[in-house]
């Protein structure tokens, strides 16, 4: 029998429907691979093998009953394993956010995105590792230890959704969920050689996603192909009354044509994304991929996003300010860890000081300062004004083009500890992903080559708000005539 862990999401769906394998067989294959390789990858914080096998068994019973008796259609993703970033709530399973302060927190409800995929039949095998509260670009900031990149275990998988990206690259699961506040799906997808989608802000409900930067947070999938990303997105997106920022717009069924013709598609290439200091192999791989799109019939020409140079400081002012407000709730009184003290001030100080990691403290202090009296207008207020200019840059560009093509990150995966003592160097790893979050536009990252060290290189396409369909069409066409996405790391 084919190694079931090599099946993509679409292939797994077909194999289950045809009877080539059962959900229990598929889930057990994933769990056995996790048990064998997890010690050298550490993609997960919490494992749920027993619950996964029980859900898989129920899926098989349901499918057998349907084949015998007929009736209403089966859930479209019935019996397919899924990993969930440990920033998304799953009822009855602890949600740590990679932090000691929530080490024993068990949510009583599930995030809407997770709930919808459970309703579609998916089987959760565990909660994946993350930088604490999604604050990081390497998954080195997790209180539960770092995740290792399957392509080179001496390197980071990216962050903050590094656990989910590594789980995909290591063939632990055919799909995983992450969150993207400033690139936390796309950047680790690039480092790990998988596909990652950041949806339009408001397209996928944030309900049940523990907040970091509320005006920037999005929930997105990791898969091994663009077709897989389109399939899972279709079932997790849509309006949710529990999320005040959720867009009340229909989500159309995604039907991808295997014909690679992209005639008439307009792709813009911004010079601002090809800056000094970028790894030459990254530039060459992305330029080569753009030429592939052009050969498929796309029209490629330059566009300008002139305020891109301000995206980094604008993002860290806005995200840190929102984090300062959102994380104020972790005070040792209502929920989470608590450090005993003789007075209220010491209770707050000890609980937060001893349970938050260094990067979380750094961003809370930066955000608190930016929001403080006398500085609000000069920092947070000014950053919001520049954010508007960045958004207008994208609006203007999308009047001329359908897509914008760019690198995901300025380099391939870096070594552990390489940037830990230099926050600015770490922040610069997200310099190409931050603008899409500030503008609220969707972005799709996918493999486009390898560097001389055989580390994956990713490129990203960005589209106008709510035009994920164009991203899927173009990305799928690219993968019809390239095979970068089929490469797998060599693991013991």
Catalytic positions: 85, 160, 184
Provide the 10 A C-beta neighbour count for residue 158.
35
For residue 85, give the H/E element and its range. Answer: strand 81-85
SS3 149: strand
- Report the phi/psi class of residue 335: left, alpha or beta, with left for phi > 0 and alpha for psi in -120 to 50: beta
Sorted by sequence, the CB contacts under 8 Å of residue 320 that are 6+ apart come out as 363, 364, 366, 367, 370
CA 38, CA 36: separation in Å to the nearest integer?
6
Q: Token pair for residue 90?
A: 């799953």
SS (HEC) of 341-408: CCCHHHHHHHHHHHHCCHHHHHHHHHHHHHHCCCCCHHHHHHHHHHHHHHHHHHHHHCCCCCEEEEEC
Q: How many CB atoms lie within 10 A of CB 381?
A: 13
- Side-chain-side CA neighbours of 243 within 13 Å: the count stands at 27
* Residue pointed to by tokens 């799909």: 175
CA-to-CA distance for 5 and 9, rounded, in angstroms? Answer: 10
From CA 196, how far away is CA 124, in angstroms rounded?
A: 19
Among the listed residues 225, 200, 270, the one whose alpha carbon sits nearest the alpha carbon of residue 469: 200
Q: Is 174:12 a contact under the CB 8 Å cutoff?
A: yes
């Amino acid at each position: 029998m084919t190694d079931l862990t090599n099946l993509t999401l679409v292939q797994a769906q077909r194999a289950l429907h045809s009877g080539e394998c059962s959900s229990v067989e598929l889930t057990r294959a994933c769990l056995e691979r996790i048990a064998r390789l997890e010690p050298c990858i550490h993609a997960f914080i919490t494992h749920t093998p027993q619950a996964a096998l029980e859900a898989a068994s129920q899926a098989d019973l349901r499918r057998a009953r349907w084949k015998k008796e007929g009736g209403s259609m089966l859930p479209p993703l019935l019996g397919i394993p899924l990993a969930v970033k440990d920033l998304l709530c799953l009822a009855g399973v602890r949600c740590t956010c990679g932090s000691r302060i929530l080490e024993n927190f068990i949510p009583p409800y599930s995030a809407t995105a997770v709930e919808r995929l459970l309703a579609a039949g998916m089987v959760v095998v565990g909660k994946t590792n993350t930088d604490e509260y999604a604050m990081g670009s390497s998954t080195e900031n997790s209180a539960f230890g770092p995740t290792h990149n399957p392509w080179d275990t001496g390197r980071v998988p990216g962050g903050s959704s590094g656990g989910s990206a590594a789980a995909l690259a290591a063939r632990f699961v055919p799909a995983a969920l992450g969150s993207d506040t400033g690139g936390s799906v796309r950047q680790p997808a690039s480092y790990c050689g998988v596909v990652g989608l950041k949806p339009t802000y408001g397209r996928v409900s944030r309900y049940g996603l523990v907040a970091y930067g509320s005006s920037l947070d999005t929930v997105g999938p990791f898969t091994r192909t663009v077709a897989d990303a389109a399939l899972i997105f279709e079932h997790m997106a849509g309006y949710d009354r529990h999320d005040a920022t959720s867009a009340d717009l229909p989500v159309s069924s995604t039907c991808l044509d295997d014909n690679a013709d992209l005639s008439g598609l307009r792709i813009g290439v911004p010079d601002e994304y090809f800056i000094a200091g970028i790894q030459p192999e990254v530039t060459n791989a992305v330029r080569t991929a753009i030429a592939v799109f052009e050969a498929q019939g796309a029209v490629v020409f330059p566009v300008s996003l002139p305020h891109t140079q301000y995206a980094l400081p604008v993002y860290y002012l806005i995200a840190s300010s929102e984090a300062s407000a959102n994380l104020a709730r972790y005070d040792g009184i209502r929920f989470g860890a608590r450090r005993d003290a003789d007075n209220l001030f010491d209770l707050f100080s000890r609980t937060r000081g001893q349970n938050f990691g260094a990067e979380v403290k750094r961003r809370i202090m930066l955000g608190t300062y930016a929001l403080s009296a006398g500085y609000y207008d000069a920092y947070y207020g000014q950053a919001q004004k520049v954010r508007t200019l960045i958004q207008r840059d994208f609006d203007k560009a999308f009047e001329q083009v359908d897509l914008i093509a760019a690198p995901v990150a300025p380099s391939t995966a870096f070594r552990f500890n390489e940037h830990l003592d230099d926050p600015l160097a770490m922040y610069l790893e997200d310099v190409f992903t931050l603008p899409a979050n500030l503008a609220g536009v969707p972005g799709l990252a996918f493999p486009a080559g390898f560097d001389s060290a055989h580390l994956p290189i990713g490129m990203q396409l960005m589209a106008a708000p709510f035009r994920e369909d164009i991203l899927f069409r173009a990305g799928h066409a690219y993968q019809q005539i390239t095979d970068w996405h089929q490469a797998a790391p060599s693991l013991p």
